[in-house]
Amino acid sequence: MPPKAWHCLTPVWQGGEEIVQRGLPHTQLSPIWQLFLLGDGSPTRHVYLLTGEPTEVDVIDMSEIGMDLDGAPDQIQVVPGPRLRRQVWVRTASGQRLYYAVSWWEASQVSQHLQNRALPIWDSLTHLRKELYRDIQGIHYGHSAALEAGFNQKGAFWGRHYLFWHHGQPLTLIYEVFSPYLTKYLGPMQLD
């Protein structure tokens, strides 16, 4: 049994690749939030541009999970095993938590890609000049008491999961959940 659980949303609603490609009605998710969640850019870079503050991570878990599917999205099956699970809070330098992220890696390869595990994934891979393709697989809207406590914000929360591909091979599966605090920069999550 893998150590320490990760913070998965209890879904109110979720959609797969077709929804990701098509987008959502603006009454469900505003255009700006759709660009943020469904676009293939780096959320680490985006939150830095939004807040004007350097982005840092607090690593809260690095666990070897072997071949366990770990309750992760189905796409975990394409990440070779045995696997390692990494959980972080992504925050501003001043301490405001902006999103939670969990990623699953081939355990034998993680040190090659995350040479400094205290850096955000995007920063690590950018320093190594890795060419990547972010393949967004799903979007989620739901609740989590642990994330409410961690963000110090009431839910429900929006999240997504995606694969990073490198040279045609799956590098990691990432699941992210965003704090409603970001409405300060992105505006309301839904339009009337």
CB-based contact 71:52 (threshold 8 Å): no
- CB burial string 110-133: b at 16+ within 10 A, e below: beebbeeeebbbbbbbeeeeeebe
Domain membership of residue 108 as a residue range: 12-73+80-186
Whole-number pLDDT of residue 168 = 82
- Say what percent of the chain tops pLDDT 70: 85
CATH of the domain at 171: 3.40.1410.10
pLDDT tens digits, residue range 88-146? 999 999 999 999 999 999 888 866 656 555 655 555 555 545 556 778 999 999 999 99
Q: Is residue 3 in a domain? A: no
> Is there a domain that residue 182 lies in?
yes
**Identity of residue 113:** H
pTM over 0.75? The answer is: yes
Give the separation between CA 85 and CA 143, rounded to whole angstroms: 21
- If one counts the domains in the chain, the total is 1
Does residue 16 sit within a domain? yes
DSSP code at position 111: H
Q: Could you tell me if residue 163 is inside a domain?
A: yes
Count CB-CB contacts under 10 A for residue 109: 14
